[in-house]
Amino acid sequence: MTDALARLRASLRKNGWWRTLTLIPRNILFHLTDFDRKYGTNTGMQAEDDAGLPQEHEGYEGAPPRLFHRIVRSLQIAPSRYAFIDLGSGKGKALLLASHHPFRRVIGVEYNARLNDIATENARLYQHPERKVANIETVCGDAGAYDLPAGDLLIYLFNPFKAAIMERVLANLENAIRTEPREVLVVYQNPTQRKLLDAAPFLEPVTYREYRTKRFRKMPIGRVAVYRSRT
């Protein structure tokens, strides 16, 4: 209550009575729908999240739930065939969302030990009635050297790396496919290193889509490139 009154006084000083009143419904909606408030998790962006990350890594950002589920549904796959692997999984929000779909396994690989510990705790705390995968696996390690599991894979990338690490990730993936031929889908959200995947001889582009909403028709809320391993 004390915090709420302090925020109210600060808003009155900054915005005045009328602007503060117009902001109240929006703030109520935020508190009712905020992911972490609702589920007791810690997936939001904080200033300290990027501390200790090599410069070749991009900053942490949690996956937007509605967009994530739209992307998975658009693939038109049987999730039970695939192990879902988030490379650069951060605090594990995509892992929590992936657990709504009946993937064979859900695995996150994160270089930053602090973020990986948070992801592990989030997986324990997240009790959603639609969760279909009970065991979320979190691995603290180098995505470019991760020993990919057997079977068909769905690799999820939410702009985690710059070119130097992405090249190593692709080389590791190519070696895994050569060692064990199987179907691999790569879902690359906000694909800043898209040209590297376009040039990869073992991948073929499937789709590129800019997701929009009725509210933001002119500005995409997400850009997603999907690739499949060549047969």
Residue 66: its H or E element: helix 65-74
The domain locations on the chain are 2-33, 50-229
The CATH number that domain 50-229 falls under is 3.40.50.150
pLDDT tens for each residue of 118-172: 999 999 999 999 999 999 999 999 999 999 999 999 999 999 999 999 999 999 9
Q: Are 189 and 157 in contact (CB under 8 A)?
A: yes
pLDDT confidence of residue 29? 38
pLDDT tens for each residue of 79-98: 999 999 999 999 999 999 99
pLDDT tens for each residue of 170-192: 999 999 999 999 999 999 999 99
195 or 11, higher pLDDT: 195
Q: What is the mean pLDDT of residues 68-73?
A: 95
Residue 200 has pLDDT above 90, yes or no: yes
For tokens 């603290």, name the residue. Answer: 140
23 or 213, higher pLDDT: 213
pLDDT band at 11 (very low <50, low <70, confident <90, very high): low
The tokens for 138 are 């979190």
pLDDT confidence of residue 33? 46
CA distance 11 to 16: 7
Lowest mean pLDDT among 2-6, 86-90, 109-113: 2-6
pLDDT band at 23 (very low <50, low <70, confident <90, very high): very low
Q: Shortest CA distance to 24 belongs to which of 38, 11, 43?
A: 11
pLDDT band at 37 (very low <50, low <70, confident <90, very high): confident
Give the CA distances from residue 14 to residues 11, 24, 31, 122, 148, in Å, rounded to whole numbers and listed in that order: 5, 14, 21, 35, 52
pLDDT band at 34 (very low <50, low <70, confident <90, very high): confident
